[in-house]
């Protein structure tokens, strides 16, 4: 039996634009997915998933993803979660050259599904790491990140970027631009997260941005402008200028909203944090619902979010300096 964990993430800058080769800067946070893997005597795959939302639920199925568990969360999230695990195991079978390997997999997570905090990337990274080690192989972090990216790329029909999986595998603050992925220096970030209890459909949101970009030249310009914001934000991070980082986060949220990926609940939480004098606030991830990230060195934003209609939870999140952890 082997156990690995991997962190979730928030985007300081660059979601959606990163799909078109623009840079993005996500940061790993200490909200983790923990995956336990034990090899079976047959070629079956059995997955038990616990606490894949802040409230928690359990899914069990045997074999491939031909079952439809009865749980009180959107079916597309469950289907996606099961698909990520299946594809991750296919990557493991490929890299270890054991095509008939079967596994019992237990997933425990405190990262809400589909909420913009990188739940799928964390599960995929931890699952691939644990399962390969269960078969006697240990991947270098760069290869682990690449295998995890290939998993998300397959499940998301070629619309994934390397940002989430690289960040989860390596930890810290990272810069991703196309295939160029690297860690960058960042100060201690006073991260506050607001969660509306919902989730957007990543595929639909990415497709919506693609359609706008193809129809309107100014939408393509908006995507390019997000890339320029990211470059300024990266410089501000490396200078330790949190006030500038916050201002640029605000700018990034406005551009994402113009591309149609925000929502009433996300905007409400963003403005609640800003009204509480956060340095900056924006949606994080695909959008459509889920989470916002704010920077606030005081307790004001977290308190304001807790009393904001439509905000289900608010919490602080420390930067995760370590990515994948090999626990057993």
**Active-site residues: which are they?**
164
Q: What are phi and psi of 283, to 5 degrees?
A: -70, 160
- Pair type for strands 2-13 and 25-39: antiparallel
What kind and span of H or E run contains 316? strand 313-317
Query: How far apart (Å, rounded) are the C-alpha atoms in residues 212 and 101?
Result: 43
Short-list 220, 278, 225, 201, CA closest to 247: 278
Decide: 121 and 168 in contact? Cβ < 8 Å.
yes
CA Rg, the chain, in Å? 19
Query: How far apart (Å, rounded) are the C-alpha atoms in residues 85 and 168?
Result: 16
Query: How far apart (Å, rounded) are the C-alpha atoms in residues 227 and 55?
Result: 35
Angle formed by the axes of helices 264-275 and 242-258, nearest 10°: 160
């Amino acid at each position: 039996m082997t156990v690995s964990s991997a962190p979730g993430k928030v985007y300081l800058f660059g979601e959606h634009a990163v799909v078109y080769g623009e840079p993005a800067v996500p940061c790993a946070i200490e909200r983790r997915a923990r995956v336990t893997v034990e090899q079976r005597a047959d070629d079956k795959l059995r997955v038990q998933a616990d606490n894949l939302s802040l409230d928690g639920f359990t899914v069990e199925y045997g074999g491939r993803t031909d079952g439809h568990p009865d749980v009180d969360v959107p079916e597309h999230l469950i289907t996606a979660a099961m698909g990520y695990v299946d594809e991750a195991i296919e990557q493991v079978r490929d890299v270890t050259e054991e095509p008939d390997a079967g596994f019992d997999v237990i997933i425990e997570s405190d990262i809400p599904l589909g909420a913009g905090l990188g739940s799928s990337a964390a599960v995929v990274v931890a699952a691939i790491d644990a399962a390969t080690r269960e078969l006697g192989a240990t991947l270098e972090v760069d290869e682990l990140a690449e295998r995890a990216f290939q998993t998300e790329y397959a499940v998301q029909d070629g619309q994934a970027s390397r940002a989430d999986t690289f960040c989860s595998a390596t930890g810290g603050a990272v810069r991703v631009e196309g295939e160029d992925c690297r860690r960058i220096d960042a100060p201690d970030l006073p991260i506050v997260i607001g969660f509306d209890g919902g989730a957007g459909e990543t595929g639909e949101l990415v497709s919506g941005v693609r359609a706008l970009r193809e129809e309107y030249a100014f939408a393509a310009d908006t995507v390019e402008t997000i890339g320029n914001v990211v470059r300024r934000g990266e410089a501000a991070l490396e200078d330790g200028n949190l006030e500038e980082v916050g201002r640029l986060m605000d700018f990034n949220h406005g551009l994402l909203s113009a591309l149609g990926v925000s929502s009433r609940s996300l905007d409400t939480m963003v403005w609640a944090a800003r009204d509480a004098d956060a340095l900056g606030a924006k949606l994080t991830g695909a959008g459509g619902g889920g989470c916002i990230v704010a920077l606030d060195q005081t307790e004001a934003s977290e308190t304001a979010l807790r009393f904001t209609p439509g905000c289900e939870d608010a919490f602080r999140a420390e930067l995760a300096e370590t990515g994948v952890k090999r626990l057993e």
